[in-house]
Amino acid sequence: MTTTGGVELKRGLNGVYLDNTLISYIDGNIGKLLYRGYDIHDLAEKSTFEEVLYLLMYGSLPTKDQLQKHEAFMRENRAVPPQIFQVVELTKEAHPMDVLRTAVSALSAFDKEVDDFSPDATRRKGLRLTGQAATILAGLFRIRKGLKPVPPSKTLNHAGNFLYMMFDKNPDPDEMKLMDVDFILHTDHSTNASAFAARVTASTLADLHCAVVSGIATLKGPLHGGAAEAVMKMSMDIGKPERAEEYVKELISRGGRIMGFGHRVYRAEDPRAQHLRERARVLGERRGQPEWFQILQAVVKAMEPYQKRGIFVNVDFYAGAVYHLLNIPEDLFIPIFALGRIPGYAVQVLEQFEHNQLIRPLLNYIGPMDLQYVPMDQRR
C-alpha cells in the first residue's frame, strides 16, 4: 500500500475485497482451496469435471438423476455452427488464444439466448460455451494441420470428447482422467485477473458472451494463463536436470522470473499443483520421456531457497509437461486453461448478476492541472 497526496493506493488491487462470494474459498497461507465448501483434493481425486460444473453452477453436489440430465445436456450442446469454423479458418494463423477469443465472440451471433440474463439461461449458456470452446480448439488444432474437424462425440465425457476431437481416436482412459482432473483444477479460482475481468464486464450488464470474451482476453498474459507455455519453453531451454540450478540462478540474478512459481494469493504450495505432479511423472514414464519431469524437479530443488519468500510451485508448473506429453502443441496450452476456466467465468457472472453493482474503482490523478490549451500553429 502506498499513499499519494492523501489517497490510499492499493496497486494491483492487492488485498482488496470486492464482494462476498459463495463460490471459491482460498487460504493462501496454508494452500487451501474449496469449491462451494468442498476441498479441491477431494474433488480432483473423487469427482468428475461434469459433477464439479454442476456443483459450481447450482451450489450443491448433484443426485444421480440430476447428474445424468446435466451430463446429457452437456453432450447435446457441444457442436458449433459451421460458420464458426469459417471464423477459425480465417484466423488460424493467429495465436490460438486469439482464435478462441474471436470464435467465442462470434458464437454470440448464433446463441438464441444471448440476451436472456435469467439464472437458468446463464447456466445453459455457460455449459454450452464450455462444450463449444473445446470443439473450437480441437477444430483449430486439426484445421492448422489441413485436417477436417472431428464432430463431437455423443457418448464421451467432456475431457474424453476433447481428446477424441483432437486426435480422432478413442482416448486412453488414464489420459482422459488426467485431462478431467486438469479441467477440475482450473475451473475456478476466485477473483483471479480473468474472472475479475469477466465480472467487470458483467457488472455493466453486458451479456455472458461479452464477459467470457473479456475473461479469455485477460487470461492470455504470461503472468496468468500463459505460464504453462512458458514453463515448457523453459524446460526445453534448460535441456537437462544438471543445468537447472545454474539456469535459475542466472535468470533470477537478471531480475527474471521462474514461470510456474509464485502466486498473488499463495504463500505455500498451490494445492492444485500436486494433482498434476504425480500424473506428469507417470505419463512421462509411460511415454518414454521421463526427462521433462526430472528437469522440473531439478528446478523445484533450485527454487527451494525462495520458499522463505513465499514463492512455491503453482498450478501451471506441471501442466505444461502434461500437455506436451499428450502431444499438444505449446501454443494450445493457454487455451486449454481457458477451456477449464470458461465455466468458472459463467458461475462468477451468475453471482455478479444476482446482486449486481457496477464495478468502477478510482485512479488517483497525479499529472499537471489546468494547463492552457495551445493552438496548433503556436506549438513548438
Say how far apart CA 113 and CA 192 lie, in whole Å: 27
Q: Which CB, 261 or 345, lies closer to ligand CMC?
A: 261
State the cell numbers at 213.
Answer: 470474451
Interaction pattern, residues 149-188, with ligand CMC; x per rule: CB under 6 A: ----------------------------------------
Does residue 264 interact with ligand CMC by CB under 6 A?
A: yes
Annotated catalytic residue 172: no
C-beta of 150 vs 259, nearer to ligand CMC: 259
Among the listed residues 185, 283, 315, 342, the single contact to ligand CMC using CB under 6 A: 315
Distance CA 229, CA 365 (A): 37
Please identify which residue in 196, 261, 318, 323 interacts with ligand CMC, judged by CB under 6 A.
Answer: 261
9 touching ligand CMC, by CB under 6 A? no
Nearest by Cα to 185 from 246, 280, 271 = 271
Choose, by CB under 6 A, the member of 223, 285, 286, 304 that binds ligand CMC: 223
Burial of 43 (0-12, 13-18, 19+ CB in 10 A): buried
Is 70 among the residues known to form the active site?
no
- State the distance between the two ends of the chain, measured CA to CA, in whole angstroms: 40
**Phi, psi dihedral angles at 33 (to 5 degrees):** -135, 125
Number of residues that bind ligand CMC (CB under 6 A): 20
Q: Which of 62, 149, 171, 260 binds ligand CMC (CB under 6 A)?
A: 260
Among 263, 277, 279, 341, binds ligand CMC (CB under 6 A): 263
Which CB, 30 or 223, lies closer to ligand CMC?
Answer: 223
Rounded Cα gap, residues 174 and 40, in angstroms: 20
Of 201-209, 219-227, 347-355, 370-378, the window that binds ligand CMC (rule: CB under 6 A) is 219-227
Of residues 308 and 379, the one with the C-beta less far from ligand CMC: 308
Query: Which residues make Cβ contacts (< 8 Å) with residue 362, sequence separation at least 6?
Result: none
Q: Which of 70, 263, 275, 324 is catalytic?
A: 263
Does 272 sit near ligand CMC (CB under 6 A)? no
252 lies in the binding site for ligand CMC (CB under 6 A):
yes
Q: Whole-angstrom Cα distance, residue 189 to residue 273?
A: 13
Nearest to 19 by CA among 199, 209, 265: 199
For the chain, give me the number of helices (H) and strands (E)? 16, 5
Choose, by CB under 6 A, the member of 175, 182, 207, 316 that binds ligand CMC. Answer: 316
Q: Is 269 in the site for ligand CMC (CB under 6 A)?
A: no
Note whether 13 binds ligand CMC by CB under 6 A.
no
Cα dist from 173 to 31, 103, 164, 180, 296, whole Å: 29, 30, 11, 10, 25
| Per-residue cell: 272 | 492444485
Question: Residue 187: which region, alpha, beta or left (left: phi > 0; alpha: psi -120 to 50)?
Answer: alpha
Q: What is the largest CA-CA distance in the chain?
A: 77
The DSSP string of 52-70 is HHHHHHHSSPPPHHHHHHH
Given candidates 311, 321, 338, 342, which one binds ligand CMC under the rule CB under 6 A?
A: 311
Closest separation in Å from C-beta 117 to ligand CMC: 28
Site string for ligand CMC, 108-147 (x = CB under 6 A): ----------------------------------------
**Measured between alpha carbons, how far is 335 from 288 in angstroms, rounded to an integer?**
26
Tell me how far, at minimum, the Cβ of 195 lies from ligand CMC, in Å: 10
Give the residue numbers marked as catalytic.
263, 316
Which residues contact ligand CMC (rule: CB under 6 A)? 189, 192, 223-225, 227, 252, 257-264, 309, 311, 314-316
